[in-house]
Structures are given as C-alpha cells and as structure tokens.
Structure 1
Amino acid sequence: MKQVLEMFLDIGIRDIIDMAIVAFVFYKLFMLIQETRAEQLIKGLLVLLIATKLSEWSRLYVTNWILKNTMTLGMIALLIVFQPELRRALEYIGRSKFLTKSIVEIADEELNEKLDAVVEAVVSLSRQKIGALIIFERETGIGDVIETGTFINGDISTGLLINIFIPNTPLHDGAVVIRKDKIMAAGCVLPLTENPNLSRELGTRHRAGIGITERSDAVAIMVSEETGAISVAMDGKLTRFLDGKTLKRVLKNAYKPENEKPLFNWKWRQKDE
C-alpha cells in the first residue's frame, strides 16, 4: 500500500501530460476501428495475449511456445490485414486542421444554390425510381476514382445530373463524382465495402457508396432503383430513407457543421466583374 501511495506521489505534470496523450491516441484509434473488421481482429488479438500469459503462468511450455510464435507471425500479418485501417488513420492525420491549408470559403447562398440543384435532382430521381450514386469529394483526393469514369468537368445542374442517370444511357451505370463546384466525371467505378454486417437488402450501388466513404472522407448519395429510397453514407456509416429537406441539411452540415468552422471549404470560380 505504501509503495502504491509513493508511486502516485511521484506523478508529475509531465507524467499526466504523457498519460493524457496516450489516452487520446488510444481513443482516436478506437473510434477509427469501431464497427470495422479491425475491431473484431483486435478482440481476437487480446484473447491470444491473455491465453499466452495464462499458459506462461500455468507452465504449459509447449502451448506457450506455440502462442508466442503465433503472436510473432501475427504482428506481420496484422500490418497486411489492417492496411485499409492504417491508410484511413494516416489520411485522418493528414486531414487534421493544423496540417491543412484553408481554401477560399464559399458563401452560404452559393453553397445553397449548388446543394439545391443536387437535392432537386436526387428527389426527382427518387420519385421516378431511377438508381443513382453521387460522390462529393472533400479533403481526401479521389482522383484515382475519377480516372475510372468519363471526364465531364461540367457545372453542377439538376438537368445534367438527371440526364446522366437516365436508364440505358452510356453513363448511367456508375458513380458521378463532384469536386468543388464541378461534376468531374460520370460512370466511375468505386471500391465495394467489405463490411460483413450490412443488410442483404443493400445492393452493389449502396455497397460501393459505403466503400468509398470507408477509404476517404467523401460523402455518398444513393438512390435505390427498387424503392426510390434516398440514402447517405459518411465515414462508412449509412443513413437511409431521407427526404429532400433532410438530405440538404445532412450535406450542408457535412461541409459546414453547425457551431463549428467548416471541415472543408469549396473554392469556387470568381465571377467576372
């Protein structure tokens, strides 16, 4: 008891700062792997660690030797298995506010105008039960995705978005990528999510939308071809059955969160004076 008391008395300001940093890092790591494959793998790793210690205390030498060697090889395997999560963590660090430069902010009325055009198109497609997949690029560049589609570089408009997704047209079967104030490309191919816990009701369009948000900070809008339901995916999380008003609020908050500084500032073309 005396040793424990002395240990607490020896704790200084630097020790407190050190523990706070470690706690913050572990918290951020937990938030990154929450509800992903990594979360289940971490649980399995903890079970192996406990089993290794128990076998050591119980003097089960053969079992302990096997577990220790398994752990050694497992650390190399983890780097391979966790590659998507590690990339996601590095991208998260790269998107931190102290590492990103501010871009010219879009005025609220201009943002509303562009979002209104997108929402109007999505609601129209939903009403007609025409499938659609629209991706908004934010901080993380998805140029590799844009390269898989047909380059457009056109102004955002309701008519253009609706025409792209009309069935049996060349570009309807794929994703539209919006960067800043431009529709950059259509017919783009997206990576599918590997989340095994998704409902079987979700088709390829929804799984592709979730997949791109797992690998970047993009926002994905999906319109179901079967039901016309509108869904939004962010950070690998899917929100379904939205109406136009809610969709606009979600999109606007994705770029300019309420009571916070913008997470992403769009740089718009300057109007000719």
Structure 2
Amino acid sequence: MEQLLEMVSNIGIRDIIDMTIVAFVFYKLYMLIRDTRAEQLIKGLLILLVATKLSEWSKLFVVNYILNKTITVGFIALLIVFQPELRKALEHLGRSRLLLTKNIVEIAHEDLDSRIKEISDAVASLSRQKIGALIILERETGISEVIETGNSIEGKISSSLLINIFIPNTPLHDGAVIIRKDKIMAAGCFLPLSENPNLSKKLGTRHRAALGITETSDALAIVVSEETGGISVAMAGKLSRFLDIDTLKTIIKEAFSPEKQNKLMNLKWRHKND
C-alpha cells in the first residue's frame, strides 16, 4: 500500500499528459477497428500473448518456444492481414482538421444548396418509383480509381440526369454514380463490397457496396432500395436507413459544411432491416 501511495505521489503533470496521450491513441485505434475483422484478430493476439506468458510461468518450455516463434512470425503477418485497416488509419490521419484541404472549403463556399436540391429531388423521385440507385459523393479522400471503372460523364449535377441514369434496363442502372464537387463524374461504377461480417443478411448488394466505399474512404453514399424505395445513407462504414428527404438534405449539408463537422460526427448511425 505504501509503495502504491509513493507511486501516486510521484506522478507529475508530464506523466498525466503522457498517459492521456497513450489512452487517447488506444481509444482512436479501437474506434477504427471496432466492428471489423481486425477486432477479432486483436482479441486472438491478446489470447496468444496471455498463453505465452502463462506457459513461461508454468515452465512449459516446448509450448513456450512454439508460442514465442508464432508471435515473432505473427507480427510480420499482421502487417499483411491488417493492410486495409492500416490504410484506413493513415487516411483518417490525412483527413485530420489540421490538414484540411481546399476541397471541402470550396464546396462550403459555393452554391451547395442548389446541388443538395438537385440530388435530393432525384432521390425523392427514385424513391417514389422504387427505382434502385447508388450515388456516391466524394469528399476529402480521392476515389479516382473507382471513377475509372465506370463511364465518364463529367456533367453538371441535375435531378433529371440522375433519374435517367438509374432508369431500369439501361446500361448504367446497376452501377454507382460518382459526384465530385459540382459534377457527375461517372456512372456505372463498380464499388468494393463491405467485408463487415456483422452485417444483416437482408442487406442487398447496393447497401453493401455503399458501406464498402465508406469503409475505405470518407465518401458519403446514398442508396435507394429497389424493393422498398427506402432511402439510406452510408458514411464512415455505418449505415443509416429509412430516412426522409429533409433528413437526407441535413446530412449532406453537414457533411460538406466545415462548421458543422462536429455535429455530423454526433449523428446516430444505425443498422436496420428492410
């Protein structure tokens, strides 16, 4: 008890700052891997480390030798297995407010309301007609590699153009539309599907593709269900479903308005079934 009190009494301001920084870093890392396959791998690694220590204390030399060699090789393997998560973490760091680029600032100072109106009008019409749609709004992370998979359009954003792209039985109907700033860059684009094992089996390909692109970038994805006409929004690997048009407008505006970024991050993103 005396040793504990002595340790506490010796803690200074620098120690508190040091521990706070470490705790914050671990918290942010946990938030990045939460609900991903990396979370399960981390749990497995912790179990392996505990088993190694127990074998050492129990003097099980052969078991300890095997576990030690496994951990040595395992750390190298982790760099390969966690490649998507490491990329995501670095992209998250690159999108820090300290490194805010002009992309989001430009959109905030231009006529954002008219673009939101064109997009929301198109989504409302598609929803009423139960026409499936997938619209991706690029933000800070460039997704040119996705744009290149589709058909180049580079046209001004308009509700009529968006509606026509998703008319059933047309060549571009099943792909995604990518919007960058004030232009529809491409249509019929292919997106990576989400690898989240916890997703509902009822989610269709469009919803999984919307989650997939938001897991690897900071893009905002809008989905219209072909079965129900329901409107969904995916962002940061989270899906919010059964939205009305007013809520959709609010989410888009907050996503592209720098002064409202904190409010956006506090929105409740939820998983629901059709």
User: Given the two structures, how large is their TM-score scaled by the length of structure 2?
Assistant: 0.90
Residue 148 of structure 1 corresponds to: 149
Higher share in helix:
2
Correspondence for 1:218: 219
Matched with 1:64 is 64
What SS class does the counterpart of residue 97 from structure 2 fall into?
coil
Matches of residues 105-120 of structure 1 in structure 2 within 5 Å? 105-106=106-107, 110-120=111-121
Q: Which residue type is aligned with residue 92 of structure 1?
A: H
State the 1:52 CA deviation: 1.2
Aligned to 1:269: none
Please list the CA deviations of residues 142-190 of structure 1 after superposition, one character each: whole Å capped at 9, or x if unmatched. 0110111111111111000000001122221200000011111111111
Q: Is contact 2:254-2:260 (8 Å) kept?
A: no
State the SS of the aligned residue for 1:120.
helix
Matched, 1:80 2:80: yes
Q: How does 1:225-236 map to 2 (within 5 A)?
A: 225-236=226-237
Which residue number in structure 2 is paired with residue 33 of structure 1? 33
Q: Point out where structure 2 has 5 or more consecutive residues left out of the alignment.
A: 265-274
2: CA distance between counterparts of 1:75 and 1:173? Answer: 41
- Structure 1 unaligned blocks of 5 or more: 264-273
**Which residue identity lines up with residue 209 of structure 2 in the other structure?**
A
1:107 to 1:100, Cα distance in 2 relative to 1, 3 A: closer
**Residues 254-263 or 80-89, more deviating:** 254-263
Q: Which residue identity is paired with 2:171?
A: P
1:3 CA displacement: 2.7
Task: Determine the structure 2 residue equivalent to 1:131.
Answer: 132
- What amino acid maps onto 1:16 in structure 2? I
Question: CA separation in 1, counterparts of 2:261 and 2:98?
Answer: 15
Aligned to 1:270: none
TM-score normalised by the chain length of structure 1 = 0.90
- For the 8 Å contact 1:255–1:262, the answer to whether it is kept is no
- Is the Cα contact below 8 Å between 1:118 and 1:158 reproduced in 2? yes
Identity %: 71
Would you say the 8 A contact 1:131–1:225 is kept in 2? yes
SS of the residue aligned with 2:174? coil
Separation in structure 2 between the aligned mates of residue 155 and residue 172 of structure 1, nearest angstrom: 19
How far apart are the structure 2 equivalents of 1:189 and 1:102? Answer: 27
Q: Contact 1:256 / 1:262 at 8 angstroms: preserved in 2?
A: no
CA contact (8 A) 2:147 2:189 kept: yes
Would the aligned equivalents of 1:230 and 1:241 in 2 still touch at CA under 8 Å?
Answer: yes
